Amino acid sequence: MPLQFIQETSGNAYIRFMVRDNEWVMSTATGDTEKVDMSSAPVVVDIENIQLGWLKLEGGRDWLPWPDNVSTNVAKPSDAHNQGFSVKFFSNRIFDDQPVRELSASGAGIRQFVMDVHEEAEKAIEFGSGKVPAIKIGDAPKVKMGKNDTRVPQFEIVKWINRPDELVGDVPPPAKDASPVSPAASQQSGGAPDDVDFEI
């Protein structure tokens, strides 16, 4: 009997932003996806630990991270690979049984979204202190990028909290001298004090 390898994936529960339908979806235990209202509550984004890399979605997901988030550290594997990212989101309220979800994509609009989150977070004194931002995600208006239209979700950092235990040690931090979101990947929020009954 011949050997049969399965397609490798990250195995993580995930969320995706569907540009054409202007909606967020999340994976389910059955392997399907279901619509999720990302505006219903704040969600934690471990933006400090974002991982950049080469991502191919055609014919099965192929993800090749860039060490230290520097694109020149890994040659582009093929023309089908594009600049992408992987970042963890956390919410007990929105994600129910699997509160840690991976957002991994290469589309221009969603890349711009994470770049904007990183830029805003990096301005805050809490960035790099072990705290993570909780953001409220809003509408995703249409914008023109190059020759195509896309959507860029809007957001607001509403609070900084201690990194949830579920995210501790989950993703190695990027090197301190590496810019986690660089211009190559596309093109002062003050924090309120912690509040123990703030449910994410």
The bridge status of strand 82-90 relative to strand 43-45 is antiparallel
Answer for the pair 178, 69: CB distance below 8 angstroms, yes or no: yes
Burial class (CB in 10 A: 0-12, 13-18, 19+), 94: buried
The pLDDT mean for the chain works out to: 82
For the ranges 30-44, 65-79, 164-178, 181-195, the lowest mean pLDDT is seen at 181-195
Q: Using CA atoms, how far apart are residues 14 and 33, in angstroms rounded to an integer?
A: 9
HSE of 196, CA atoms in CB hemisphere, 13 A:
0
Q: Following CA atoms 47, 53, 56, 62 in sequence, which dihedral angle do they give, to the nearest 10 degrees?
A: -90
Instruction: Report helix, strand and coil shares of the chain as percent, to nearest 5.
Output: 15, 30, 50
DSSP string, 89-152: EE-HHHHTT--EEEEEE--HHHHHHHHHHHHHHHTSTTTTTTEEEEEEE----EEEETTEEEE-
pLDDT band at 188; cut points 50, 70, 90 = very low
Q: Is the pLDDT of residue 93 over 90?
A: yes
Mean pLDDT of 45-65: 92
pTM exceeding the 0.85 threshold for the entire prediction:
no
What separation in angstroms does the CA of 127 have from each of 119, 123, 134, 139, 194?
A: 11, 7, 12, 25, 14
Answer for the pair 99, 71: CB distance below 8 angstroms, yes or no: no
For the ranges 1-15, 35-49, 71-85, 110-124, the lowest mean pLDDT is seen at 1-15
Tell which phi-psi region holds residue 116, choosing left (phi > 0), alpha (psi between -120 and 50) or beta: alpha
Q: Using CA atoms, how far apart are residues 78 and 165, in angstroms rounded to an integer?
A: 37
